[in-house]
Amino acid sequence: MDTYFKEEHLIFQEQIRRFCETEMAPLVDEAERTQTFPRHLFRRMGELGYLCIRYPEKYGGAGADKITECVLREEISRVCQGFASSLSAHSHLSTFPIYRTGTEDQKREYLIPAVKGEKIGSFALTEPDAGSDTKSIRSTAVRKGDHYVLRGSKTFITNSPFADYLLTAAYTDKGRGYHGISLFLVDKGTPGMTIRKLEKEGIRSSDTGEVSFEDCPIPADHLLGEREGTFKLIMETLSEGRIGVSANMVGVAQAAYEAALRYARERTQFGRPIGKFQAVAHKLADMATRIRAARLMVYSAAHLLDRGKPCTMEASAAKLFSSETAVEVAREAIQIHGGYGVMSEYPVSRYLRDALVYTIGEGTSEIQRNIIAKQIGL
């Protein structure tokens, strides 16, 4: 990693790892059992400057580069991907579009409190009939004088059960095709908005909800940037987010590998540690190799982004490879644990459940392959 890491990255890695192990790790079991994110972490991370580190200091951020953000994401996911999911939905998906095109009033009302952890954000894009095909969303927002009337439904929306605002995508002009999709800042408690919490098998400690909008009145000045048509911004948000999600998956894979390596050294069968058997040793060697390759892909893409270079293919390749690596490593970690691998007292089954979410979430593996195919001229 010497190619991409400077001394400040290594110092930050040590700091955030210590924070994750001392202040996050003790919360994981309870959060997973109750399927509830410990919300005080938003303010705590905001106080320490860890919550939205990439935004400029004028908005309360640290002005950090993408590599630093990836270090942060990897370390949080190494402890708990559910925590990382809620934090990522807040620190990137529901805030990046505000930073990029929001008015100064919108940044003052939403972005600055979000950076401090005083307001919690959610990004409402996915719908029951529109997942990978973003252009197929059916939600609409019709202008009526000084407000819009929002109608539609969203599903699998991270943080929505407790968010203070939902950055919501809806068509404002279907005549323009997907260029007519706009983003709105929808406040908690808006009349006509209802939210139902969903239960999941993966990322259980991240609250996820289903949202309905029935003739919700949205003030016109809550249209992001006070201009219609932000589909390109949505795609930019998702594309950059893939690099961060890739770092998350490296963290999950690293956690699964460390658990398997530790168990292989401690578990004895036939008079010696199972790690001394070639079948197990080779599994661990393959796991270590794949993680190393995935990590290099992630930080290579982050480095390109930091330099302002195109990285569409690199981001999709990193997301594809890291998420599938996390699944494979977690599956092998369970195999190494044997019967204990499916016992709730061991974390390896959680790693697999969480990894499987991200061969689907934030762009399926199939969509990543489509993007890569297009980038290579197919």
DSSP secondary structure, 336-352, as one string: HHGGGGGSTTSTHHHHH
- Distance (Å, whole) CA 212 – CA 193: 6
Domain borders along the chain are 7-116, 121-230, 232-375
Pick the CATH number of 232-375 from 3.40.50.720, 2.40.50.140, 2.40.37.10, 1.20.140.10: 1.20.140.10
Instruction: Point out the catalytic residue in the list 228, 240, 324, 362.
Output: 362
Superfamily of domain 121-230: Butyryl-CoA Dehydrogenase, subunit A, domain 2 (2.40.110.10)
- Distance (Å, whole) CA 292 – CA 253: 10
Among residues 267, 272, 289, 239, the alpha carbon closest in space to that of 341 is found at 267
Among residues 153, 252, 157, the alpha carbon closest in space to that of 207 is found at 157
CB 290: neighbour CB atoms within 10 A? 21
Specify the pTM: 0.95
Residue matched to tokens 């996911």: 77
Residue matched to tokens 């807040």: 90
Asked, colleague to colleague, whether 7-116 and 121-230 share their fold, the answer is no
Dihedral of CA atoms 229, 63, 86, 260 in degrees, nearest 10, equals 130
What type of residue is 17? R
Task: Note down pLDDT in tens along the chain; length 378 residues.
Answer: 678 999 999 999 999 999 999 999 999 999 999 999 999 999 999 999 999 999 999 999 999 999 999 999 999 999 999 999 999 999 999 999 999 999 999 999 999 999 999 999 999 999 999 988 999 999 999 999 999 999 999 999 999 999 999 999 999 999 999 999 999 999 999 999 999 999 999 999 999 999 999 999 999 999 999 999 999 999 999 999 999 999 999 999 999 999 999 999 999 999 999 999 999 999 999 999 999 999 999 999 999 999 999 999 999 999 999 999 999 999 999 999 999 999 988 999 999 999 999 999 999 999 999 999 999 999
The dihedral through the CA atoms of 128, 312, 243, 101 has a sign that is negative
**Domain 7-116 listed as CATH 3.40.50.300:** no
Cβ–Cβ under 8 Å, residues 36 and 83? no
Among residues 316, 321, 286, the alpha carbon closest in space to that of 301 is found at 316
* Active-site residue, 362 included: yes
